[in-house]
Structure 1
Amino acid sequence: MNFIRQIERFQTLNKLIHQQCTGTPDELASRLGISRRQLYAHIEDLKVLGLEISYSRKLGSFYFNESKHLKIEFNLEVLEPEENIKTFGGKLLNLFPCFFYARNETNLAV
Structure 2
Amino acid sequence: MATQKARIINDLTDLDGFIAAALVDSTSGMMFESMVNGSFPIEAAAAANTQVVQAKLKAMKAVGIGNDHIEDILITLGTQYHLIRPLQINNEIFIYIAIDRNHGNLAMARMEMRKLDQSITKL
Q: Which has the higher strand share?
A: 2
Question: What TM-score, normalized by structure 1, do the two folds share?
Answer: 0.24
Question: What TM-score, normalized by structure 2, do the two folds share?
Answer: 0.23
Q: Which has the higher helix share?
A: 1
